[in-house]
Amino acid sequence: MLYKAVITYAALAIIIPSNGIAHWGILSSFRTPCNEPRGLVGNYLVGDASTPYIYILSLKTGSVFSSFAAPGGPGAWGITSAGEEYEFHISNYSTSWIYRINTTGSVLNSFVCPLPGPAGINRRWPNLLEIVIPDKNIIAVVNALSGSLVSTIPGPGLRPTACDGYGPAFITDAGTHAVYLNGRVIIEDIEFPAGIWEGEQHPKDTERRSLYVVDAATKQIYDIRDNISVVPASLGRIKALFR
């Protein structure tokens, strides 16, 4: 079944610490086309299942353009660009394999993650991957060509699940139900933040960014923007809309 946007709202915002960080507000959300949404990069969403799929969808409506099966069986989680057009790295939390694939789902190469239980994955140019390891509360920096461990970065919370941006700048954490920007909480009360992607800057508005956060518990993708002048409200009110 294909799902389209179910709620759009611009008057709500998430609790933001009073520490000088710009307000981040939810502009809209849409239902994911799968029961276990995980990683997101661009308009490519990983959906875990007995046969996991990668969905190509609209980030405005949630409509699915197409999909293809992901390799590795249950446990598919992270996805990031592999540096070539229409090629991606994806991770499998259950098997610890990292696959390089194309948009038919064909495996181009693969390696076992040097640390078990990889979740979200992010490309750091030119040939490094930042791979989130929830069970160890770290992000592993891994050579994308050899699969060797380069270094580790401590998570900012309890159980990191996904990351994006250089550093990485953005990290989601299922243990604290929060999203961190450079180690500081910018979003709270997301039930299971399983994926994150920092979108493109908006034309004619270089000060504003999009941030797409996948909530695996509510099966929603939130479109979140910074520098929004709205009155903060608890995400608990937003979560109630989906019950």
73-107 per-position pLDDT tens digit? 999 999 999 988 899 999 999 999 999 999 999 99
Does 79 fall in a domain? Answer: yes
When pLDDT is averaged across residues 163-169 and rounded to a whole number, the result is: 93
pLDDT in tens, 105-152: 999 999 999 999 999 999 998 899 999 999 999 999 999 999 999 999
Does 2 fall in a domain? Answer: no
Specify the CATH number for the domain of residue 52: 2.40.10.500
Does 1 fall in a domain? Answer: no
Average pLDDT over the chain, rounded to an integer = 84
Task: Note the pLDDT of residue 230.
Answer: 46
What is the domain count for the chain? 1
Does 236 fall in a domain? Answer: yes
Does 180 fall in a domain? Answer: yes
Amino acid identity, residue 91? S
Supply the range of the domain harboring residue 118.
7-240
Does 146 fall in a domain? Answer: yes
Does 48 fall in a domain? Answer: yes
Task: Note the pLDDT of residue 174.
Answer: 98
Contact 54, 66 (CB under 8 A): no
Does 228 fall in a domain? Answer: yes
DSSP E strands, 13-137: 24-31, 37-41, 44-47, 53-57, 64-69, 76-81, 87-92, 97-102, 107-112, 121-124, 128-133
